[in-house]
Amino acid sequence: MTASWLPAVAVGLPFAAVVPIYLSRTRPNLREAWTFLAGAGAFVAVAATVSPVLDGARLTAATGVSYLGVPLALSVDPFGALFGLLAATLWPVTSLYSVGYVRRLDEHAQTRYFAAFAASVGSTLGVAFAANLLTLFVFYELLTVATYPLVVHEESAEARDAAAKYVAYTLSGGAALLAGLVLLSVAAGSLSFVPGGLDGLATDPTLARAAFGLLIVGFGVKAAVVPVHGWLPSAMVAPTPVSGLLHAVAVVKSGAFGLGRVFMYLYGPDAVRELGVAAPVVGAAVLTMLGGGVLALRAESIKGALAYSTVSQLSYIVLGFALAAPTAAFGALLHIPAHAFMKITLFFAAGAVSVETGAKSIRKLPGLARRLPVTLAAFAVAAAGLAGFPPVAGFVSKWYLVLGALRSDLPLTAAAFLLAGTLKLLLFWPMVAAAFFEEPPRSIGRSGASEAAADAASLPDGGAHGDVDARGGRALDSLVAESSPALLVPVALAVAGALLLGLVPERLPFWDLARAVVAEVFA
Amino acid sequence: MTDPALLVALPLVASALPALLALVRERLGWPLAVATLLAQTALALAVAGRVLREGRVVTDLGGVPAPYGIRLVVDGLAAPFVVLVAVAGLAVLAYTRVGGPRSGPFYSLYLLLVAGATGVCVTADVFNLYVFLEISGLAAYGLVASGGRGSAALAALRYLLVGTVGASLYLFGVGFLYVATGTLSMARLASVVASGSADPTLVLAGVALVSVGLAVKMALYPVHGWKPVAYGAAPAGVAAVLAALISTVAAYALARLLLGVLSVRFLRLYPVVETLLVAGGGASVLAGSLLALRARAVTDLLAYSSVVQFGVVVLGVAAATPASVAGAVVQLVGHAVMKAGLFLAAGVLAASYGVETIEEYGGLAERAPVTSAAVAVLAVGLIGLPPTVGFAGKLYVAVGAAAAGAWLSVALVVVSTLLSLVYFGRLLQRMYVDPPSGAAGDDSGAASLGMRGSVVAAAAAAVGLGLTAAALERVLAPTLEVLL
């Protein structure tokens, strides 16, 4: 336990940024500068925690507030650092993308958007660095409140319904979490995160099981585990950067992160085995992986497909934790950043496609790679990664997940990973193939469907950029013309991250942090 | 100057003045009330400070010892309520200066209410408790009628009838207790009950009547009917001060009688008491929530939400563990602040835009961003989300109930949170997301700085108290250790 300002700075900066963002609402450039300033500061603070944490220090910041003797405090351990580093890395990238996205579309209520975004990231970092379950719960609930304005952003009837559904699901999950927290405090007498689990859970197995169930449901809602996943596809009504960072990374990963805390730091592998509580979670996770994969195939919009793919992928992580075995847990930990980079690439690409061409439906993809080659190349790489192909991040994490499953008590679950990967292939291959190898719908008039005509009408509305394409010729021109740098650079950065995580995973801090987690939990 | 007797005497004596001075000049009531309550607040803080140092402060009026004289006691359990009554009384005055009513007699009743509510908190005698309950009650009936409309008079009459029945039931129960034990002093009652020499049937009958009487004052389901009517008809300032004080001190009295007079041992010996309390609290949580879901006027929504909140308080008292009772106190103090703030906010919005129903609140966040933000914070606090005081209260009650093995109570607390999400969520969605209803007028100058400031202060207090709940816990700890 080393007292340190770093976690407080990392969590505090995004929250603090809300005030200047709001105050400079009439000057968009200054307003966005605050976001980047806070993002850079938070990133530096989080990055600075990594090496001391790997050396065994636990950087702790107390707030002085406590409830029933449980302090609200921040503390960075390897698991928290892994998740915090991910959120702090992707926030500035997403902010750049957000700037490009909302300005290009001339979105309304941009100040509210950026303020809520900052508060959401602050809450996510709070979840990552929470020193105990009570603190985590506080930030987990704040995250719900802070993300609500982002989901409802569009203010259409559909957005309002989706946001209401989102809040109903997540705050109900919060209530379950609160109940589980109360029971756990009675059962174990502590809410601290202890590597390998709390002592004394075996004294009252019924109570410990009840608490476990409530905690799993509470975190399972945000991790979108079937049957409490319904909010996620609806919430895709939010602007694409929101879907990208929050609904593929921060919110759902907070749920998965919470499950990791429950499995590894509150109950621990031994208690999970003794209490026999893992089986239902394993069942739900397998069902979610496969069910989400199948539902994704039926989606019509690109974002819908991505949403169901997220539902499926998140349960990779859940299953990895639930197997309560070191290799599987290592795979799950690696899959947190791996899925984040791949999925955010897909969302960024999908957003760029919709900004540039207006295409939101999968049916409008054919031939789009000619218009947006870089964007769709990134999309293809990330999609391959999600299906588990090397050399993308998804291969490495899935390798360890499959290996861990084979070495666990339930080797058959390895088949679920492989099957789910196949479903991803079935989902993404037609999309990629259509974008790259099919002709634009204008020339496939033979289909005769009225939609095709509508598609054709909406497709070439790239405006000035379309003219550049028509002029044809130089590659550099078409690259610049593909989209604005604010949209393209984040896509490139995200896909580069996904590739690095697949090519040199052990060079990145996530690897060492994941190993440190496994070492301290399964010691 | 830290004599608890002054806590009652000051507002009681001062209450005679505004009505008299009004004969000279109408507008003298407000400054007089402010001066009185400033002194009252200082006094309350001084007494609370002494309680912190000495554990408890005792005084016998006129030096006549109990059982003949009147004894006043302020301990760790009473101190937060003494301070709450003074501070809430003072804070609401910031609203009434412009928000009204402004008449001299109004401020006489106002100070009388503060005197009665303080008396309930400091008395050490079950009969005097009745007297103070009636003083505050009578003042409250008059205050509701001060709205001046016909509906206000009718609401006040209804409130008076129901309130008097409640007070009479309480008095009836005190009679039973007197017959059973031969004393009215809380300390003597406690020792006689503990010695086992009192007829338990008589004691139980007394407790039942006293509890039902106080339940009427707290507006637990199904004796809650007066609350929406009274709050709806009263001026916003009155509704706020009533919401902060009346039911709160009744709940305090219930906790005092059950824990301080009957003792936990008695409660454990006769589990029927706890069963009935959980039944009453649970019914209030569920029925109050359902009624709140159906409410159309904002004041109705707030009134029914109070029914739920007091149900949670009763659950906390019934579990009778240090955490759950501390939770009940945190919940009571927090509810007083937040509900008063919301009634004041409703007053501000009604004065500025003429809106009264949830329907009419559509799109208000754009037109009244500050007041709306305060409403959002206060509503989130009543839902029980961190880091507000509502979260601390519910957490404590739930943890305390779980420690006692009262799983039903834990479940009810969680359910109350979920349901409050729905009915307050509806209000917030209306204000923030939905388009304007069009019915609203615009007279945004009608609300003074003091009126809006009082709302913002309540929201700030809701968060501040949430972060400092541990301090309140520390104030209570020594007393609860003795009581439990």
**Whole-number pLDDT of residue A102:** 87
Q: Do A65 and B398 touch (CB under 8 A)?
A: no
> In terms of Cα–Cα distance, which of B261, B240, B239 is closest to B192?
B261
A182 in reach of chain B (CB within 8 A) = yes
Q: How confident is the model at residue A52 (pLDDT cuts 50, 70, 90)?
A: very high
Nearest by CB to A175, which of B414, B434, B469? Answer: B414
Chain A, 227 to 286: residues with Cβ < 8 Å from chain B are none
B349 in reach of chain A (CB within 8 A) = no
B395 vs A contacts (CB less than 8 Å): 67-68, 178, 182
CB B296 within 8 A of CB B281: no
B392 vs A contacts (CB less than 8 Å): 67
Nearest by CB to B410, which of A137, A141, A182? Answer: A182
CB atoms within 10 A of CB B183: 19
> In terms of Cα–Cα distance, which of A304, A310, A313 is closest to A363?
A304
B414 vs A contacts (CB less than 8 Å): 175-176, 178-179
**Whole-number pLDDT of residue A11:** 94
Nearest by CB to A145, which of B385, B402, B429? Answer: B385
Supply the mean pLDDT for chain A: 87
B398 in reach of chain A (CB within 8 A) = yes
**Whole-number pLDDT of residue A104:** 83
| Residue B190 Cα, gap to closest chain A Cα (Å) | 29
Tens of pLDDT, residue by residue over A99-119, are: 988 888 888 888 888 999 999
Nearest by CB to B414, which of A65, A164, A178? Answer: A178
CA B418 – CA A170 distance, rounded (Å): 11
Q: Tell me the one-letter amino acid at A179.
A: A
**Whole-number pLDDT of residue B277:** 93
Chain B, 425 to 444: residues with Cβ < 8 Å from chain A are 425, 429, 433-434
| Residue A436 Cα, gap to closest chain B Cα (Å) | 41
CB B397 within 8 A of CB B409: yes
Q: How confident is the model at residue A478 (pLDDT cuts 50, 70, 90)?
A: low
**Whole-number pLDDT of residue A121:** 93
Q: Do B433 and A163 touch (CB under 8 A)?
A: yes
Task: Kindly provide the ipTM of the predicted complex, given to two decimals.
Answer: 0.88
Domain ranges of chain B: 4-483
Cis peptide bond upstream of A391, omega within 30: yes
| Residue B436 Cα, gap to closest chain A Cα (Å) | 13
**Whole-number pLDDT of residue B1:** 57
- CA distances from residue B347 to B98, B340, B358 in whole angstroms, order as listed: 11, 11, 14
B318 in reach of chain A (CB within 8 A) = no
Predicted TM-score (pTM) of the model is 0.90
| Residue B405 Cα, gap to closest chain A Cα (Å) | 9
A361 in reach of chain B (CB within 8 A) = no
**Whole-number pLDDT of residue A474:** 44
**Whole-number pLDDT of residue A442:** 61
**Whole-number pLDDT of residue A454:** 44
The residue count for chain B: 484
B391 vs A contacts (CB less than 8 Å): 138
B411 vs A contacts (CB less than 8 Å): 179
Tens of pLDDT, residue by residue over A252-287, are: 999 999 999 999 999 999 899 889 899 999 999 999
A19 in reach of chain B (CB within 8 A) = no
Chain A, 32 to 91: residues with Cβ < 8 Å from chain B are 65-68, 72
Nearest by CB to B469, which of A67, A167, A174? Answer: A67
Q: Tell me the one-letter amino acid at A450.
A: S
**Whole-number pLDDT of residue B260:** 87
**Whole-number pLDDT of residue A77:** 93
Nearest CA in chain A to B396: A68
- CA distances from residue A509 to A51, A513, A515 in whole angstroms, order as listed: 9, 6, 10
CA B210 – CA B177 distance, rounded (Å): 9
What tokens appear for B178 in the block?
């007197």
- CA distances from residue B309 to A161, A353, B231, B338 in whole angstroms, order as listed: 28, 50, 16, 11
Q: Do A186 and B433 touch (CB under 8 A)?
A: no
Q: Which residues contact A448 (CB under 8 A, 6 or more apart)?
A: none
Tens of pLDDT, residue by residue over A371-398, are: 888 999 999 999 999 998 888 999 999 9
Q: Do B434 and A172 touch (CB under 8 A)?
A: no
Tens of pLDDT, residue by residue over A212-228, are: 999 999 999 998 888 88
Q: Strand A59-67 and strand A2-3: pairing?
A: parallel
Q: Tell me the one-letter amino acid at B386.
A: P
- CA distances from residue B45 to B7, B50, B248, B327 in whole angstroms, order as listed: 11, 9, 19, 22
**Whole-number pLDDT of residue B98:** 81
pLDDT tens digit at each of 484 positions of chain B: 578 888 999 999 998 888 888 888 777 888 899 999 999 999 999 999 999 888 888 888 877 876 777 889 999 899 999 999 999 999 998 888 887 777 888 899 999 999 999 999 999 999 999 999 999 999 999 999 887 778 889 999 999 999 999 999 999 999 999 999 988 989 889 999 888 888 889 999 999 999 999 999 999 988 898 999 999 888 888 999 999 999 999 999 999 999 988 888 888 888 899 999 999 999 999 999 999 999 999 999 999 999 999 999 999 999 999 999 999 999 999 999 999 999 999 999 988 888 889 888 888 888 888 899 999 999 999 998 888 999 999 999 999 999 998 999 999 999 999 999 889 988 998 888 888 776 556 766 777 888 888 999 999 999 999 988 888 888 888 888 888 7
Nearest by CB to B433, which of A72, A155, A174? Answer: A155
**Whole-number pLDDT of residue A480:** 55
Tens of pLDDT, residue by residue over A164-210, are: 899 889 989 999 999 999 999 988 888 999 999 898 887 888 999 99
CA A222 – CA A140 distance, rounded (Å): 10
CB B379 within 8 A of CB B464: no
Torsion of CA B162, B383, B425, B232, to 10 degrees: 20
A191 vs B contacts (CB less than 8 Å): none
**Whole-number pLDDT of residue B429:** 87
Tens of pLDDT, residue by residue over A319-328, are: 999 998 999 9
- CA distances from residue B277 to B208, B214, B313, B409 in whole angstroms, order as listed: 10, 12, 10, 10
